[in-house]
Chain A
Amino acid sequence: MSAPRGRGLLLPAIAVVVVLLVAPLILVGDESVRLFEPGHVGSARDAPLTLDNYRELFRPAYARYFADTFRLSLIASLAALVLAYPIAYKVAREHRPRVRRAWIAFLVVMLFLSILIRVYAVSLAVGPAGFGSALAALLGLSLNSRGYAEISILLGLLHCLIPMAAIVLLAPLQALNPRLVEAAQALGAPMWKAHATITLPLSARGLLAAFMLCFTFSISAFVIPMVLGKGRVLFVSNLIYSRFGEIGNYPGGAALSITLLALSLIVVYALDRAAGSRWRKP
């Protein structure tokens, strides 16, 4: 009796998922194989089926947009882990409850900060009105170069990702028994080695979870590349917006969306499989 009742409780959630996630996705999939007639908004009701919207994505320029999106997302996610890990470790090991609460509150508040505020704050800071000229000179780049636009995007992404990653890492690091590291050090292991051989491997699943979260956030980022990329570095999400929001080419936007979704799922699945197979070993 309990099993069917349990399944019944799932029904509302399943209904919501089907209505809000699956059904729109099916509609997007259908739109992506419809012929678009320029000058109109979206495809006509009886538009013929076509694969042209996907075919044009095989042009080298689009491969570059996908590559840029995944490359910058990968760099930002890895950098976020490197920077968030010590913060999370410090908070997890903080003995003073007040200080720990203050740190957690700070990280949570950072999560609530509007993305627009973050983006324009970074834009001002790394632009000519902020320290942009000095930073560009330090990096040997022009303020208006493509390279500097990429760095601006990375900084914008990191602004969002670091608190996110730190909060995700907090739980696995708190669950770690600190005595393991202390024991290793007591037995003569230097601190770096104790962390490299104990803390890092034992928090690897948390790292993977944080990475997945950061990576999926980054590849779907829209405002950050739109403002900080100066129109010279574009993510696929910007192309999708342009298709849907500016030129009314729903089929083209839908094909880009489905392709991005498929590639993202492949990457996440591959990472999960690689990590899973490693951890399943005895």
Chain B
Amino acid sequence: MSNFTRRSFLASSAALIAGASLPARAQAVALTGIDWGGPLIEATRKITAGDKAVDITWDLHAGGAGTVLPKIKAAWPNPKYDIVAAWNPVYVTMINEEWLEPLTPDEIPNLKDVPSEYFFKDKSGAIVNVPRSLAGMFWGYRSDKAPVKVEKIEQLFDPKLKGQICWPGPSINSNLQLLSLALSAGGNEKNMEPGWELLKKLAKSGNIGRVANTETDFINSMSTGETSVAFWNMSPWKKVSANFPIKVLTRVPDEKGMKAFMYQDGWVVLKSSKQKKAAMDYLNFFISPENNQEFNAMLGQGTTNRKSKSTGFAENIAFKPDELAKYAYFPDFTLLAAQLNDTVKRFETEIVPLM
């Protein structure tokens, strides 16, 4: 008994704990993934903590998800990623590049509970994405800061809003912000000219105070009160709404431009992955009814698994069938993705000089 000291007790306990955890750790398959930063990676990590079968090293998208494309291209056929978090326009480019592994409900059984409209398919018609969230991008404002109660696109030009608008950069959000202006002026994805004309007018008005290129830019700008009106997607809006009163403009009657622009984000498995089976098992775990619900509750986004429920901030885009046509807009991301190069150049040459 005299040999049993506090130190030896701690040492043997530590050895026991380490020994007990070794088998589980040894079985965990190492994967590398990339996701958006901020609230998204926080939520992803929390869900992933429940899957002991994988040990994932995470990278973060540097701004928009499109920034991962050059990284994969440069390293192809040996990019380091097994799984990539992406969304509609990025899926399109990845499909064009033929990088995505076909996925089936046999490999990922929970896909059976995901509505077929959320799937992206490759040239052979195979599913290539695992949808995890239904989300929207929309206009909104800080009701304690904005000098105008914005309810129409034309109010964005109000001189009282000088420097108050946080405008997403042209490569962000697939430029849905421009589409919102275009729709308001009678245009659409095929005819964005009316949107460009309105954007020139907006740039000249001096009302754009910041062109935000990341979620952090948007959250900082809105939180510090630098700007008070913005167009952005759900989880950053939820983050801002946690501290400030936010008026979300997803149910604006009689305004063609102020819609909830619907999209979904999710996962893809790269063809180059050496751990496809583990990656697919993980994604199956990720979109199980419970995990899909918990993940989206954290982010305030809509669920993609039929057996999960959307709650909280997601109510902003939880439209009843009769509201869908009025308030929701499902953009043609293929058309928008094809225009992205020209859009960025036009923004640089025609809009920035006016600001």
Interface residues of A (CB under 8 A from B): 36, 38-42, 56, 59, 61-62, 64-65, 123, 127-129, 142-146, 226-227, 230-232, 234, 239, 242-250, 252
Contact = CB atoms under 8 A, between A and B. Distances in A.
Given A59-B349, A61-B353, A248-B70, A40 B210 contact: no
27 contacts: A38-B339, A38-B340, A38-B341, A39-B338, A41-B69, A41-B70, A56-B345, A61-B349, A127-B224, A128-B224, A128-B225, A142-B163, A144-B209, A145-B163, A145-B206, A230-B210, A232-B211, A242-B169, A242-B171, A243-B344, A245-B66, A245-B67, A246-B171, A247-B171, A248-B69, A248-B93, A250-B70
Which of B338, B339, B344: most chain A CB closer than 10 A? B344
A114 B295 CA distance: 33
Interface in B171-217: 171, 206, 208-213, 217
Contacts of A142: 162-163
Given A144-B210, A247-B344, 9 more contacts: A39-B96, A41-B73, A61-B348, A62-B348, A145-B206, A146-B355, A230-B211, A231-B210, A248-B93
A252 B348 CA distance: 13
A61 to B, nearest CB: 4
A255 to B, nearest CB: 12
A239 B212 contact: no
A145 B209 CA distance: 7
Contacts of A227: 217
B227 interface: yes
B254 interface: no
B246 interface: no
A152 B93 CA distance: 36
Nearest to B209: A144
Contacts of A250: 70
Which of A39, A65, A129, A232: most chain B CB closer than 10 A? A39
Given A39-B338, A127-B226, A246-B63, A231 B344 contact: no
B70 to A, nearest CB: 6
Given A38-B340, A41-B93, A61-B353, A144 B63 contact: no
A230 B169 CA distance: 10
Q: Give the interface SS of chain A, mostly helix, strand, loop or mixed.
A: loop
Interface in B48-98: 62-64, 66-67, 69-70, 72-73, 92-93, 96-97
Given A144-B209, A144-B227, A226-B213, A64 B353 contact: yes
A218 B229 CA distance: 32
A129 B224 contact: yes
A245 B64 CA distance: 9
Contact of B341 (A123, A127, A230, A247): A247
Contact of A239 (B70, B339, B348): B348
Nearest to B223: A129
A254 to B, nearest CB: 12
Nearest to B165: A144
Q: Which 5 A-B pairs have the closest CB atoms?
A: A231-B211, A144-B163, A144-B209, A61-B349, A246-B171
Which of A40, A42, A231: most chain B CB closer than 10 A? A231
A232 B344 CA distance: 14
Given A64-B353, A127-B224, A145-B163, A40 B96 contact: yes
